[in-house]
Amino acid sequence: MSDTGAPDVSDENPLLRVEGLQKHFQINEGLISSLLRATMGKEADYVHAVDGVSFELERGETLGLAGESGCGKTTTGMSLVKLHEPTDGRIEFRGMDLTESDDEELDEFRQNAQMIFQDPFESLNPRMTVYDTLAEPLRIHDIENETARIRRALEFAELQPPDHYFDQYPHELSGGQRQRVAIARALVLDPDFIVADEPVSMLDVSLRAGVLSLMERMTEEFNLSVVYISHDLSLLRHMCDRLAIMYMGEIVEKGATEDIIENPQHPYTRSLINAVPVPDPDVGRERVELAGEVGDAIDVPSGCRFHGRCSEYIGDICETDSPSLEQKAEFDDDREVSCHLYDSCGKQS
The C-alpha angle with vertex 50 and arms to 271 and 227, in degrees rounded to 5, equals: 75
DSSP labels, 253-291: EEEEHHHHHHS--SHHHHHHHHPEEEEETTTTEEEEE-S
Closest approach, Cβ 52 to ligand SF4, in A, equals 16
51-80 footprint of ligand SF4 as x/- string (CB under 6 A):
------------------------------
208 vs 307 by CB, closer to ligand SF4: 307
Nearest to 255 by CA among 349, 140, 337: 337
d(CA 134, CA 15): 25
CB of 319 to ligand SF4, least distance (A): 8
**Secondary structure element (H or E) that encloses residue 177, with its range:** helix 175-187
- Show the site string, 244-273: x = touches ligand SF4 by CB under 6 A, - = not: -----------------------x------
**Which helix (H) or strand (E) covers residue 38, if one does?**
helix 31-39
**CB closer to ligand SF4 out of 162 and 323:** 323
Burial class (CB in 10 A: 0-12, 13-18, 19+), 82: middle
- Nearer Cβ to ligand SF4, position 185 or 307? 307
Least distance between ligand SF4 and beta carbon 245 (Å): 11
**Residue closer to ligand SF4 (CB basis): 73 or 340:** 340
Task: Let me know: does 131 contact 166? Beta carbons within 8 Å.
Answer: yes
Nearer to ligand SF4, 69 or 320 (CB): 320
Task: Pick one of 323, 325, 335, 336: the residue that binds ligand SF4 (CB under 6 A).
Answer: 323
- Please report, as a single letter, which amino acid is at residue 166: F
Contact 264, 233 (CB under 8 A): no
We find the least distance from the C-beta atom of residue 290 to ligand SF4, in angstroms, to be: 13
Of residues 319, 332, 338, 198, the one with CA closest to residue 268: 338
Smallest gap from residue 227 Cβ to ligand SF4 (A): 24
CA Rg value for the chain: 21
* CB contact at 8 A, 56 and 14: yes
Shortest Å distance, C-beta 312 to ligand SF4: 5
Q: Are strands 62-66 and 46-57 parallel, antiparallel or unpaired?
A: unpaired
Binder of ligand SF4 out of 66, 150, 184, 339 (CB under 6 A): 339
Site residues for ligand SF4, 272-311, by CB under 6 A, read: 304, 306-307, 310
Return the range that interacts with ligand SF4 (CB under 6 A); candidates 35-43, 84-92, 211-219, 313-321: 313-321
Judged by CB under 6 A, the residue of 16, 200, 246, 341 near ligand SF4 is 341
Interaction of residue 312 with ligand SF4, rule CB under 6 A: yes
Q: Does residue 41 come out as left (phi exceeding 0), alpha (psi in the -120 to 50 range) or beta?
A: left
289, β-bridge pairs: 276
> Least distance in Å: CB of 349 to ligand SF4?
14
Give the residue with the Cβ less far from ligand SF4, 194 or 339: 339
Number of residues that bind ligand SF4 (CB under 6 A): 13
Question: Least distance from C-beta 304 to ligand SF4, angstroms?
Answer: 3
**Which residues of the chain form contacts with ligand SF4 (CB under 6 A)?**
267, 304, 306-307, 310, 312-314, 318, 323, 339-341
